[in-house]
Each structure stands twice: as C-alpha cells, then as structure tokens.
C-alpha cells in the first residue's frame, strides 16, 4: 500500500526533471553581465546567441556571436532583443560548415579583453571570451500552427458553397 502513495510523487519528480535542464558543459552559476556591459578580464561568463561568422585561424577558431538573452535551459531566446556581439575563441579547428551563420550556440568561458572588429566601414570593439565550452543547439523547427489544429487536418475542412467550413460556423 505504501508503494501506491509514492507513485504520484515519483511521477511528478520524473516529469519535472525533464522540463528545463541545462547541458552539463555549460551548467553553473554566472554573473548577470551582458557583452554590452562586459566586466573585467578573467570574469567567468555564459553568453549565447546566433553565430554571425566563424573564422578559423592558425592556432584557434573564433566565433562572432550576436548575444541574446538565455532561457531557463541556457538556450538563446528566439527574440529580436540583443546585447551586442562577442567573440568566442577556442584552440584548434571548428568547422565553419557545422558552426554556420545563424546556428545558435551557448558559450562558457572567461573574458580575455576586447577585440577590434569591422562591420562595413564601422570600427567597434567586442569582448573576447576564451571558451571553455561551446554548446551548439539543434536547429529550431518551424511549425505551421495550422498543423496543430485537428480541424485543418480533417477531411471536412475546406471551402464550401456558403463559405469555409469551420467547426464553429454555427456560432
């Protein structure tokens, strides 16, 4: 009888465990500073956003990232709000075909100064991060909201002689 009492608690525990988990390499506690207000050198940060450019070099590869707010699972939010740009550099080669512009990443590392950049004819400086971990997120799927409505998938939906058929036409 006691095992039946524990069943709802166990079910709730397993259901909540999968809600918003942060991948292990980018898990931890970090400051609230954004790249626009980058702190002192050596500050440990977790920033993320879509990749703007991937630049492989002789000893390291740098990703230029447009910083966006991070969600509960540390994935960049799909929003137009941005906190500036930052440069995430890691020793070795990172394939630009995989880390392509538009893909989303979350970076954990330490601020290592500022790097000069050019955007068109405009010169600006961005914070440079020595990346400890770079998490590449899977591509977001674009879902047509009509696919979620069962009436759009039903054979009775579609134009009729009096107008479009819809489940609420009698209202």
CATH 1.10.3470 applies to domain 22-85+98-141: no
pLDDT at residue number 36: 87
pLDDT at residue number 26: 83
> Predicted confidence band at 23 (pLDDT cuts at 50, 70, 90)?
confident
Q: Is the pLDDT of residue 91 over 80?
A: yes
Give the residue extent of every domain in the chain: 22-85+98-141
- Answer for the pair 46, 24: CB distance below 8 angstroms, yes or no: no
Please enumerate in sequence order all residues whose Cβ is within 8 A of that of 159, keeping only pairs 6 or more positions apart, or say none: 165
Q: Express each pLDDT in 47-81 by its tens digit.
A: 999 999 999 999 999 999 999 999 999 999 988 99
Phi, psi (rounded to 5 degrees) for 153: -90, -5
In the chain, helix, strand, coil percent, each to 5? 20, 40, 45
Burial (CB count within 10 angstroms: exposed 0-12, middle 13-18, buried 19+), residue 26:
buried
């Amino acid at each position: 009888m006691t095992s039946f009492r524990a069943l709802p608690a166990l079910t709730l525990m397993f259901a909540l465990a999968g809600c918003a988990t942060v991948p292990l390499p980018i898990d931890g506690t970090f400051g609230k500073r954004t790249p626009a207000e980058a702190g002192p050198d050596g500050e440990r940060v977790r920033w993320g956003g879509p990749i703007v450019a991937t630049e492989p070099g002789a000893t390291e590869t740098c990703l230029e990232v447009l910083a966006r707010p991070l969600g509960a699972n540390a994935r960049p939010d799909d929003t137009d709000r941005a906190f500036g740009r930052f440069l995430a550099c890691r020793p070795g080669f990172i394939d630009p075909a995989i880390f392509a512009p538009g893909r989303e990443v979350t970076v954990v590392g330490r601020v290592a100064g500022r790097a000069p950049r050019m955007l068109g004819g405009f010169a600006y400086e961005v914070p440079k991060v020595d990346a400890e971990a770079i998490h590449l997120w899977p591509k977001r799927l674009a879902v047509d909201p009509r696919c979620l409505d069962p009436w759009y998938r039903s054979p009775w939906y579609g134009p009729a002689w009096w107008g479009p058929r819809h489940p609420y036409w009698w209202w």
